Structure 1
Amino acid sequence: MAKIELRQIRKTYDRYVAVENLDLDIIDGEFLVMLGPSGCGKTTTLNMIAGLDYPSQGQILFDGREVTAEPPHGRNIAMVFQSSLLYPHLTVRKNIEASLRHSKLSKAERAQRIADAARMLELEPMLDKLPSQMSGGQRQRAATAKAIVREPACFLLDEPLSALDAALRLSLRSELVNLQKRLGTTAVFVTHDQVEAMTMGDRIAVMSKGNLEQIGTPDEIYNQPASLFVATFLGSPPMNIVAGDVSGGVFHAGPVAIDLAGRAIPNGPVSLGVRPQHVTVTAPDAAGAIPVTVYALEHLGRESVVIADDAGGNKLRALVDPGFHARIGDRLGIMPAASACFFFGPDGRRISA
Structure 2
Amino acid sequence: MTGPMSRKLEARIVDYIARRLPDGRDFQLQDVQRIAVGWSHETWLFDLVWQEGGMARRRGLCLRRDPGNTLLRHLSSLEQQFRVLQCLADTALPTPRPYWFEHDPAILDMPFLVMEKVPGVCPSPWGREGRAFYQAAAGRGALPASFTATLASLHTLDWRVAGLDFLGVPAPGTDFARREIAKWRALIDLSGHPPEPILTDLISWLEANAPPVERLTLVHGAYRTGNLLIHDDRISAVLDWELQVLGDPMYDVAYVLSDLNREGTPLLSNLVDRDDFYRDYEAATGFTIDDAVCRYYNALYAMRSVAFWMSASGLYAAGQSDDIRLARTAWSVPVVLERAARELGY
Task: Give the alignment's TM-score, normalised by structure 2.
Answer: 0.23
Structure with the larger helix share: 2
Larger Rg: 1
Task: Give the alignment's TM-score, normalised by structure 1.
Answer: 0.23
